[in-house]
Amino acid sequence: MDHELWAEVDDYFAGVLVGDDPALEGALAASREAGLPAIAVSAAQGKLLNLLVRLCGARRVLEVGTLGGYSAIWMARALPPGGELVTLEADPRHAEVARSNLDRAGLGSAVDVRLGAALATLPELTGPFDLAFIDADKENNPEYFRWALRLSRPGGVIVVDNVVRAGAVVHGPADDPSVRGVRELHDLIAAEPRVDATALQTVGAKGYDGFTLALVTS
């Protein structure tokens, strides 16, 4: 596996198809300066989220796991006037950095950053949401997905990130909480008649991973 080559290819496509973006680059810089972990989605993945929001005509988006607000900026930019993104973050420092980054990007009024453990704040939300992006602690993925489905409308989309985990989804130990959470998530999806889903492996600046894409059918 050539991580250096993957990163170079990611940089190429980001340069050609994404380009320079002071707000997004500033959000990453501010997150680094604040000591947040460097686990935000890549530029190519952020653009994919932006396109998905636009493709499904989303007016309301739910995000589980805010970090520094990088992915939230990508998705909020795709919303129509009056649209709303609700993003859930358990860490106060992360939420503070995200709010600052969103304000600097001119999106503070469109994004509601909710502080608290997601499993405590999800029951407080009112649906429906048109798209949900789940990118938080993997051991709770099944519960996050159940809530996202409950809060979605028919025709809505649910995206779950980091489901391959460098192949750990297949070869990882069953007692690893993250591996167990990813496997239980897909067992849940396979048995759920209200969704139709697939999962894609990815390589790039973030290494070898992948995401699951689910369509809410009823």
Domain count, the chain: 1
CB count within 10 Å of CB 119 equals 16
Q: Is the pTM of this model over 0.75?
A: yes
Q: What tens-digit pLDDT sequence spans the chain (218 residues)?
A: 698 999 999 999 999 999 999 999 999 999 999 999 999 999 999 999 999 999 999 999 999 999 999 999 999 999 999 999 999 999 999 999 999 999 999 999 999 999 999 999 999 999 999 999 999 999 999 999 999 999 999 999 999 999 999 999 999 998 999 999 999 999 999 999 999 999 999 999 999 999 999 999 99
The CATH number assigned to the domain holding 191 equals 3.40.50.150
Domain that holds residue 33: 3-216
| β-bridge pairing 60-64 and 129-134 | parallel
Enter the tokens of residue 134.
Answer: 């789940």
Sheet-wide strand order for 207-216 = 111-115, 84-89, 60-64, 129-134, 152-161, 207-216, 195-204
| β-bridge pairing 152-161 and 207-216 | antiparallel
